[in-house]
Structure 1
Amino acid sequence: MKMRLTDLGVKKLSLPEKSQVTYWDETTPGFGVRCSSKRKSYVVMYGRDRRLKTLGRHPELPLSEARKKAKLFQATQVQAGGHDAVFEYQAVAEEYLRDCRQRLRGSTLKGYVLYLTHISFEGPISDITQGQVVRAIERYTKSPSSQNYAFTTFKVFFNWAVRRQYLAANPLQALKRPNKSQPRERVLSDDELRMLLKRTLKHRGRFNDIVTLLALTGQRKGEIANLLWSEIDDDLLVLSADRTKNKREHAVPLGPKALALLRDIEGGSRYVFGTPADDKPYNGWSRSQRRIVEETGLVHFTLHDLRRTFSTIHARMGTPIHVTEKLLNHVSGTISGVAAVYNRHSYMEEMREAVAQYDEYIAKLLEGC
């Protein structure tokens, strides 16, 4: 059983009538307090067969001193070559993913689970070398971008393992990502955007409606895919801080075409586009996106291209850059740092004007379709 051991918490632990119960400390791996019918004793786990060493009894031995003794004993075991057998790679990776599930967004978690479960190692985590990790990644995928994502996943994981004292040092700390990233610059031309919207508006459905709304609003894929009816307030889209990438509440006006699309969707769920199957909002998206590419002839098209296209069209229309950034909920642009602290103007009227102009632009684009 795991808990954060504190002096008061240990004091309040009850003694079982029979057998023994061990409470493991969440902050110090391998250290805990074992409760029997007569006493409470601090213990530390070590060795390949996970043996326990008794450090002392409570309350004679204070918790802080017991924790220090446990860390000292573990350090001694590391030098003797026996400690890391306790911390097998598989066990540490599983604990890390359990921790990730409690604090990460679904899209980020999906990548971590993919690489940490498909690229695996046997034995103690401390035995893993940077060469082993790099070669394992190269065997798993030949895609430069996937190799970079996998490398970053492992680097973050090893940093976590160091903080949790499963490792003395990150084997990837001195390395950079294996491939130089090339930022995407894909922007759909007017003809391509017309072709895309013509198809998604004609063939209605969950994925196509999401694509249409992405093109009309410029918002992020996850924000629209998981859109709730409660987040539509009259002609505003209002996202709470826990629903945005930068953890800031975001309110953006919706144009007539976006509102018409939403009004035409039947509301049988609290989600606008239906409850994500098994909490996987992107189920079937790869297949749907391939179908769009095949039917429209769009080359190297991704959904994030729509956000970049939205921004480019606003620049072409003369929308001030700070207004475009407010529409996109960017925080690293023209209004950032000290300026962001003191400039609390919402720019709502300016955004409404820009959205109206953009809606007219799209309407002209679709004339005759």
Structure 2
Amino acid sequence: MTAASKDQSFNSDREINALKASDKRYTVKDKSRRGLFIEVKESGLKSWHYRYTIDGKQERIVLGQYPDLKLKDARELRDAAALLVAKGISPQQEKRSRREKKAAGETVKEFGDKYYQGVISKDRANPITMKRLLDNDIYPLIGDKRLTDITQADAVAVIWRKKDQGYDAAANQVRGLLKRMFDYAVTKNLMTFNPVLSIPSRHVFKYVERDRALSLNEIREFYTALLDSRVYRPRKLALLLSLLTLLRKSEMLNAKWEHIDFEQRIWHIPVTKNTTGGKNSRPMMVFMSDQVIEIFKELKTIAGNEPYVFVGRQSGTRIAHNVLNSAQKTALALTNVPHFTIHDLRRTASTLMNEKGFHADAIEACLNHTTKGMRGVYNKAVYADIRTAMMQEWSNYVHSIIYEPNLIFFNAGQQRIA
């Protein structure tokens, strides 16, 4: 079907329904209302438009879509717009003014909640971190402020609050979330500019390649302080699992009981590092040693029927990343061990295992690293048997370092699961 002729018109909903899509969009005018017409797109979508002239300039506005707006409704909207034109008021400018007034009254929290529901929750497989940043870091400082009143100073205050707490990487996450959220607000014509654009990421956080690995004495001193501290017991066990399993913090904290196969002695991790399910996201398996199984048995007695291994404050949730960070910092403050991060425990384990002569490719498989080059293309081995034996030997080695100074702690665990 070709585009409609200039003489084509309609005077009923039946005639509008009869309008079919063409290979080009076309318009058809209303017989009884000057300037009112309906546009039919190639997809078949039909929308109402009102064309008028004011101050010698032709303008038009979109009234809505058909069949949401029937002919009678569209004519009423057209008549209201025509009345504005008769008074010398542009309906287009009036519509824009109403939208801007509405935006002026919208707070950061109101818009942020919409952004979370409409964008973040749809784009991310695991949006929990973004929700926490909104609730804990953004809303408390600027949640009640109107979008149009947000300045660069407001954005700096939010970002540097996290940075001043010593969490530069998390501060950069806050900056990234604010930037994306305000970009969206600008796109929706709710803000005229994005104040975060003048805050370069490099001023917030600069990634530095780390090479920190703990010595045997540091491992003994840290874990003795940790296991003897007032830190909540499941968090102590989580930090111990970090060293025993070589897992990333996010991989461990997302563990659910449905992932733990006690019979097969395997911990299934369905989504790794890239939690959005991108190309770097690879399922993996952890072959559990006797010590790891004992830890999980104890954690199960604590978690009860909760789905997550590490239970959050509310039922059905897990603990946040910063909870484990705080536990590690609390224990570290009780020692003379130089600063290290939880992620450094992965490097510590990898370093010591390589020094002990364990199978290098099996260690890389435990780290869920991809082998580079052509060898990585063809080497898809899981090394199940090698890793099973290796992880047991590694757990034995770690326990030989920390077990004796912490007999009370480990005996308490045995009594709990007995």
Range class of TM-score, shorter chain = 0.5 to 0.7
Cα separation, partners in 2 of 1:262 and 1:139, compared to 1, 3 Å: closer
**Which secondary structure does the structure 2 equivalent of 1:215 belong to?**
helix
Aligned equivalent of 1:187: 213
Q: Which has the larger radius of gyration?
A: 2
**Which secondary structure does the structure 2 equivalent of 1:334 belong to?**
coil
TM-score (norm 1): 0.64
| CA displacement 1:3-57 (0-9 Å, x = unmatched) | xxxxxxxx9xxxxxxxxxxxxxxxxxxxxxxxxxxxxx989xxxxxxxxx98157
**Which secondary structure does the structure 1 equivalent of 2:285 belong to?**
strand
Cα separation, partners in 2 of 1:299 and 1:101, compared to 1, 3 Å: farther
**Which secondary structure does the structure 2 equivalent of 1:277 belong to?**
coil
How far off its partner does 1:356 sit? Answer: 3.6
How far off its partner does 1:236 sit? Answer: 1.2
Pick aligned residue for 1:252 from 286, 295, 318:
286
In structure 1, distance between residues paired with 2:158 and 2:296: 46
Quick check: 1:59 aligned with 2:100?
no
Aligned equivalent of 1:269: 305
What letter corresponds to residue 276 of structure 1 in structure 2? G
How far off its partner does 1:191 sit? Answer: 0.9
In structure 2, distance between residues paired with 1:301 and 1:232: 29
Cα separation, partners in 2 of 1:168 and 1:106, compared to 1, 3 Å: same
In structure 2, distance between residues paired with 1:125 and 1:304: 37
In structure 2, distance between residues paired with 1:132 and 1:270: 39
Pick aligned residue for 1:86 from 102, 109, 112:
102
Cα separation, partners in 2 of 1:125 and 1:355, compared to 1, 3 Å: same
Cα separation, partners in 2 of 1:220 and 1:80, compared to 1, 3 Å: same
How far off its partner does 1:164 sit? Answer: 5.2
TM-score (norm 2): 0.58
What letter corresponds to residue 158 of structure 1 in structure 2? F
- For the 8 Å contact 2:266–2:286, the answer to whether it is kept is yes
What letter corresponds to residue 251 of structure 1 in structure 2? M
Aligned equivalent of 2:268: 238
Matches within 5 A, 1:335-350: 335=372, 343-350=379-386
How far off its partner does 1:368 sit? Answer: 4.8
Aligned equivalent of 1:214: 242
Cα separation, partners in 2 of 1:149 and 1:235, compared to 1, 3 Å: same
Pick aligned residue for 1:97 from 116, 125, 140:
116
- For the 8 Å contact 1:238–1:251, the answer to whether it is kept is yes
**Which secondary structure does the structure 2 equivalent of 1:134 belong to?**
helix
**Which secondary structure does the structure 2 equivalent of 1:346 belong to?**
coil
What letter corresponds to residue 95 of structure 1 in structure 2? K
In structure 1, distance between residues paired with 2:172 and 2:335: 30
Cα separation, partners in 2 of 1:259 and 1:166, compared to 1, 3 Å: same
In structure 1, distance between residues paired with 2:375 and 2:149: 48
Matches within 5 A, 1:98-117: 98-99=117-118, 100=120, 103=124, 104-117=126-139
**Which secondary structure does the structure 1 equivalent of 2:196 belong to?**
coil
Q: How many residues align?
A: 308
In structure 2, distance between residues paired with 1:123 and 1:288: 34
Quick check: 1:300 aligned with 2:335?
no
In structure 2, distance between residues paired with 1:224 and 1:206: 12
What letter corresponds to residue 250 of structure 1 in structure 2? M
Matches within 5 A, 1:121-136: 125=147, 128-130=150-152, 133-134=155-156
User: Mind listing any 5+ residue stretches in structure 2 that lack a counterpart?
Assistant: 1-16, 18-46, 50-60, 75-91, 406-418
How far off its partner does 1:310 sit? Answer: 1.9
**Which secondary structure does the structure 2 equivalent of 1:345 belong to?**
coil
| CA displacement 1:194-230 (0-9 Å, x = unmatched) | 2333455667921211121121112123433453333
- Alpha carbon RMSD of aligned pairs, Å? 4.4
| Larger CA deviation: 212-221 vs 114-123 | 114-123
In structure 2, distance between residues paired with 1:93 and 1:363: 47
Matches within 5 A, 1:2-13: none
In structure 2, distance between residues paired with 1:229 and 1:56: 50
In structure 2, distance between residues paired with 1:363 and 1:141: 36
| Larger CA deviation: 110-119 vs 358-367 | 358-367
Cα separation, partners in 2 of 1:207 and 1:159, compared to 1, 3 Å: same
Aligned equivalent of 1:329: 368
User: Mind listing any 5+ residue stretches in structure 1 that lack a counterpart?
Assistant: 1-10, 12-40, 44-52, 67-75
